[in-house]
Structure 1
């Protein structure tokens, strides 16, 4: 887990990025620039791509970063949204397409079996269409997906999904009903309808057309949780 600091704003944001996201990616940089332009100092957390124990590799390290940074607001995308949900505290958070459950399509039926295998090598290929992530995502941002995932990582993620704490009052979730990576049903089962912000796009709103309007709503929710 690595932390990259951007901006010098008056308010501090802890943002747990999604699996394979990192500063230097054009779409991630667009997101971080939008956040810093809005007056945030952003501590962007790059997660381990092959954690094999959810608490040890995701929840506990992110909690330590939160305690060190003491941010005004916390946000998380995809895997980062799953990890952030496990960080203790009653403070509201803002989520983008949190990975609270797998999308039911494709090879989802095999995940329970694969995740039981004690194999830490990344032998499970990912064959998803780049358009499922976002139509603005360039091919060079697919390096992590090209390396696949390990059964042990799948097991760690399932551990995190099966032990999610209750949804925190005042939190907000941004997601698309077209998402082909995470389960929108899992989101709907946890988040009240009035705390869900639907957008037109794919899994990464910051890699989708119309992203500026989504970011504006995301910023509104960050302001709200910072003032809570």
Structure 2
């Protein structure tokens, strides 16, 4: 995993979402806002086509965490799924990919193909730029892969099914307009009082009013400390 560090203060591990980059404009803007709250933010960029969740996602994330001093964890999207498997006490999950949304990556062709251990990216990514947020940059979208492998989808499904329960301190930040991940995965695991809502799409840092959306995340951070 690629990493970078922003800020100076208490350690915070930011496990980014699928397709996010440590040098991405919006990602760094968000990390800087977290750093402004008094954190030393370690950004971690995850691979986009892993075929082994534990080896390529969980173990590297655990290694980064272990090099930090008891960090608070913020996990976005796929990073939120990885973060949950780390079992942190203090965590904020942002639009976590704890369930699939509707038929996304679940059509009949994929259902048939995903039974094969194929690691070649064959499955079209079926969410649009607008679903992520209006502030998505041209460069950022160009670097998002347009396909994943059946093996990747298998690994995500297995990780969702085996996901540990979030800690009693954990908070989740979501938008009810998110059509990239399934919000039922959040509602099945956390009570309403620990779920914070922001206005926007899948990424609060790509929302039209990203300042207000990100403030929801920083408020959740205060609640878990």
Where on the TM-score scale, by shorter chain, does this alignment land: which range?
over 0.9
Given the alignment of the two structures, is residue 103 of structure 1 paired with residue 101 of structure 2, yes or no? yes
Moved more, 14-23 or 216-225: 216-225
State how far apart, in whole Å, the 2-side matches of 1:119 and 1:197 are.
38
Task: Could you list the structure 1 runs, at least 4 aligned residues long, displaced by more than 3 angstroms after superposition.
Answer: 109-114, 143-147
1-structure distance, mates of 2:3, 2:24: 15
Q: For the structure 1 residues 195 and 112, does the alpha-carbon distance in structure 2 shift closer, same or farther, using more than 3 Å as the test?
A: farther
C-alpha distance in 1, partners of 2:71/2:222? Answer: 9
1:94 aligned partner = 92
Q: How far did 1:86 drift?
A: 0.2
Q: Distance in 1 between matches of 2:86 and 2:145?
A: 29
Match of 2:155? 156
CA contact (8 A) 1:14 1:45 kept: yes
3-state SS of 1:174 partner: strand
Match of 1:73 in 2: 72
Q: CA deviation at 1:113?
A: 3.3
Compared with structure 1, are the counterparts of its residues 114 and 98 closer, same or farther at alpha carbon in structure 2 (3 Å cutoff)? farther
Task: State which drifts further: 135-144 or 169-178.
Answer: 135-144
Taking structure 1 as the reference length, what is the TM-score of the superposition?
0.92
Q: Which runs of no fewer than 5 residues in structure 2 stay unpaired?
A: none
Give the 3-state SS of the residue equivalent to 1:86 in structure 2. Answer: helix
Q: How many equivalent pairs are there?
A: 224
In the aligned structure 2, how far is the partner of 1:106 from the partner of 1:219? 30
How do residues 1-228 of structure 1 correspond to structure 2 at under 5 angstroms?
Answer: 1-7=1-7, 9-89=8-88, 91-110=89-108, 111-225=110-224, 227=225
Matched residue SS, 1:190: coil
Q: What TM-score do you get using the length of structure 2 for normalisation?
A: 0.93
